[in-house]
Amino acid sequence: MSAIPFLAQVNLHFDRAAVHLDLPPGLIALIKACHAVYHVSFPLRRDNGSIEVIDAWRAHHSVHRLPVKGGIRIAANVSEDEVTALAALMTYKCALLDLPFGGAKGVIRARKSHYSDAELERIFRRYTFELHRRNCIGPAVDVLGPDLGVGERELAWISDTYLSLAGPEDDAIGAVTGKPISLGGVRGRTEATGRGVFFGLREAVADPEDMRALGLSSGLDGKRVVIQGIGNVGYHAGKFLASAGAIIVGLLEQEGAIYDSRGFDLDAVGAERAAGRSLLDLPAEAKFGPDDCFSGLEWDCDILLPAAVENVIVEENAPRIQAKIVAEGANGPTSAAAAEILRQRGIFQIPDLYLNAGGVTVSYFEWVKNLTHVRFGRMERRFEAASIARILHAVEALTGQTFDRTVFDAVAVGPSEEDLVTSGLEETMILGYQSIREKARKLGTDLRSAAFSISIEKVARAYMERGIFP
């Protein structure tokens, strides 16, 4: 792990980008500063009757736009520094992709596996109550979402608690994203971050000039990929990459790491882990135990995808990274010092600020759905299907050819909610990458500094247009 705190790492990346911008120092300082951090401590009655104090935080990094937006994570080693750093990344991530949010993040300090389901429910409901008391949750104030250790179940508890506290508020359901479909969630949210990683990587490797400089052909087909972390992000990203022809040759998790040049079937891997078995139970050419699992970051591959936690590529191991492309699926997986080493070595880095943004993008779609109270595709799906059918009938009339009914069934179909969500995510990631690549070429810098500079400019413009900064 890096000795430099996570927030300091984020701020180093920020400072490297800020030097390219002609903005007043005071405005730069305002953008970088965290607006507020709320630390709460509350009692938890354990199932055995004992009392334990739980510490939790919520950080609002920037209020240049409201509501603020950010997920919640639960882990034993979280801290105020971590939540502030993650909130800052959310600010820059949302600004980069034109999502109408300021940045926020929440953390609960607890080892999830040490608590029963009933105890976890009490933790999340009390956390929601504490946020509500401080006006730190609401569809126009602060929108919560998923992160490490927090999925649909936990978000359902949070949403239910907030709805009971908010009373007859029309848009209260929009205070939480990542909810189950039955509670106002949006189809496609579960795999959104992994799908966003796929779209971003696909766009990056499609550039012949950049790939030629790395000694690679363009496209994903045949690219060898090592994935660190096969939770929600790594698992779905790996599946989408494999479907495009990439070969998943390495997998790293806490219990160990496995390598096989023939590639792994992520469906089979997921089934094994769902059954409670370890990666090390899978057939592989090489296996490494928990003490050596991080050495897999240094395996020879085309694409290294860190998709778990921050600071896994640090100054110590950066000189030994053999990947030609480091694609940051996690938040902050590369320390500032390591990023500079990789840059000097000519390793192509796709920053988390962009590549990890699929989740918050689709959370935005869920928020919009909740505020409008209309499911995506509900009004237009049948209309579009009928329009396509009329075109096919017109072609039949003009050509004298009659299409088989299966043609109509396959072609004359309007988009579902998931189709529209996926299309919106794809468009966001494509346009986002194009803007970053164009900025990098204009400034003569790497993608990370280009992404940060775009974000800083957009936040600065928002402050100036609101008159907060002259």
Catalytic residue annotation:
105
193 exposure class (CB count in 10 Å sphere: 0-12, 13-18, 19+): buried
Which of 431, 427, 430, 420 is CA-nearest to residue 368?
420
Across the beta sheet with 325-327, what order do the strands follow? Answer: 286-288, 256-259, 247-253, 224-228, 303-306, 325-327, 348-350
* Secondary structure element (H or E) that encloses residue 341, with its range: helix 336-344
* Secondary structure element (H or E) that encloses residue 218, with its range: none
Token pair 């908010």: residue: 166
**Rounded Cα distance, 296 and 275, in Å:** 24
Are 44 and 55 spatial neighbours (Cβ–Cβ below 8 Å)?
A: no
Bridge-partner residues for 54, per DSSP? 42
Which of 154, 148, 168, 288 is CA-nearest to residue 229?
148
Tokens at 2, concatenated: 């890096």
Residues in the chain: 470
Are 466 and 64 spatial neighbours (Cβ–Cβ below 8 Å)?
A: yes
CB half-sphere exposure, 214, CA atoms < 13 A:
27
Are 241 and 201 spatial neighbours (Cβ–Cβ below 8 Å)?
A: yes
What does the DSSP 8-state code read for residue 384? H
Q: Evaluate the CA torsion angle 165, 170, 176, 179 in order and state its sign.
A: positive
**Rounded Cα distance, 331 and 353, in Å:** 8
Phi, psi angles (nearest 5°) of residue 32: -75, -30
Which of 264, 298, 266, 303 is CA-nearest to residue 284?
264
Whether the ω angle into residue 67 lies within 30 degrees of 0, i.e. cis, is yes
Tokens at 406, concatenated: 């299966």
Are 356 and 193 spatial neighbours (Cβ–Cβ below 8 Å)?
A: yes
First to last CA, the chain: 41
Angle 80-96/447-465 helices, nearest 10 degrees? Answer: 80
Tokens at 375, concatenated: 């499911």
